[in-house]
Structures are given as C-alpha cells and as structure tokens.
Structure 1
C-alpha cells in the first residue's frame, strides 16, 4: 500500500473526486467509504445530483482512518478521536491504544523469536532442542 502522504497527494485530482475514484485511489470498495460516512468518519459534500464529491481534506481523512486501522484502532475509537475537541480525553484514549499496541508488538516479537529459533534448529524434533525449550518456556 502507498504511504498515506502519497495516497493523498500522489496524482492529486484537479477538483473534487467521485466515490469510485477515491475508492480506487485507496484500494477500497465503495461500500467501505459509505459505511465510514454512515459512522460519521467522513462527510463528503454532494453535488447538485446528490453524488458524493471528495476534496483533498476528505482524502486526508480517509488516509488517517486507514492508518489508524492499521495501528489496530477500532472505527468507534477513530470516530471518538475525530469528534473530540477535549485534549485530555484524546490523550487518555491514545495512551490506552498505545499500551495495547505495545502489547501486540511484544506478542508479535515473541512469536517471531520462536519461529526464528525453530528455523535455526537442526533437531529432527524441535521440541527436544534445549534452546527452543528455553525460548518457549515462560520465564521464572
């Protein structure tokens, strides 16, 4: 996936974009953008025919939602963060999310360590390897 900055600026449109163009730019289905709009995450303007017209600001919001989802934030949390003007509330939410993300990163690192240990092991049965057993067993 492109970086968020590239997603927003790369091939920037000459004016407001249709829902289909935005969906293609971000590799999303149009129903995802409609769902995000129904949740209050997006609020694209409408043209005289009622079609959604996405501006650069809307594209930035889509990129932010995608990055927040990549970080593991739920759509409800993203909506709360976007809606709150309360710095203390935003900080509290982000601190909690950061701690959750740190725990997920630690768990993923532990899993990677286990896999790498097994890859380096020449034992026919990796569970019989003393080094592997140390890596698997909980610390005392």
Structure 2
C-alpha cells in the first residue's frame, strides 16, 4: 500500500481500540520521538483523547508499517511524504522508478556477495582463493586483463 492518506482519524472511533504513543512505538520497536517527528512531517495524523494525548488506531498502524517498509526500500521521509501526498500515477512513477532501479542494483550486489560467501562456505580448498567459484567471481569483477601497449 503506497497511499498513506486515510481519511478517518484515530479520534473518530471514540478512542476504542486505539494505542498510546508509547504502545505504538513499542509495537514497532521505535522511540516515541520518531513518531512525533513523523507527525511534524505530516506523515502521521493521530487523533487526540479528551486530555490531548495522541491516540493511534488501525489506520495509523498501517501508515507506520508502510513508512517502515518504504524506508527499508531506501526512500527518504520527504520522498515518502511526497508519495503519500499524490494520487497521480505519473507522479508516483517518477518518484518510485529511480528507487526501484537502485533497489534492483542493491539486490544484485547482495546476490553476488552471497554467492561469494556461500562459495567460501562450500569450498574444499584450504585457501579459499583457489576455489573455482571464487576465482570466477573475482575475474568477473576485475574484468578483462589489461595488456601492456606495444611501443
């Protein structure tokens, strides 16, 4: 879910089934100041109880989970804010396309790293640099040999 603007505020359900800022933060392993910061950035819009304390409902849980997933994907908070503020498909594409390309690149690099590590784990040679898989991966990284120019 990329759309963060949910019309119902937490306070509209009368406070039933809502969480305090501390309970919401604990649920996601966050510090409460993180949620307050996201609120100042316009990413969260918690309801308030009669005493003025923040109350978070199901929609807020969805927003926090979405923000965390998008941050893990590499999006900055201001980008997440821009994304949540738009319903235009073209604008969403312009925001997400470069992020998707960067994520694909990171995944490819992680796959190569994992292949090297697993090759080391499965290598039967005393010296891992002698393993055929290791040598292939290193050769791919180094590229073609550079030959001295003839004079």
Which TM bucket (shorter chain)?
A: 0.7 to 0.9
**Which deviates the most, 103-112 or 88-97?**
88-97
1:4: which partner in 2?
Answer: none
1:95 to 97, 111, 116: 97
1:125 aligns with 2:132: no
Segments ≥4 residues shifted beyond 4 Å: none
Question: Where do 5+ consecutive residues of structure 2 fail to align?
Answer: 1-14, 145-151
Corresponding residue for 2:44? 42
TM-score (norm: length of structure 1): 0.81
* In 1, Cα distance between equivalents of 2:61 and 2:119: 43
CA distance in 1, matches of 2:71, 2:38: 12
**Map of 1:29 onto structure 2:** 31
Of 59, 84, 87, the residue aligned with 1:85 is 87
Choose between structure 1 and 2 for higher RCO, CA contacts under 8 A separated by at least 6 residues.
2
Which residues of structure 1 form unaligned runs of 5+?
1-12
2:94 match: secondary structure: helix
How far has the Cα of 1:44 moved from its partner?
Answer: 0.9
- Please give the per-residue CA displacement for 1:13-39, whole angstroms capped at 9, x wherever unaligned: 943221011112222211111111122
Q: CA separation in 1, counterparts of 2:17 and 2:136?
A: 60
- Aligned-pair Cα RMSD in Å: 1.8
Higher-Rg member (1/2): 2
Aligned length in residues: 128
The correspondence for 1:64, drawn from 62, 66, 71, is 66
Instruction: Find the aligned partners of 1:46 and 1:75 in 2 and give their Cα distance.
Output: 24
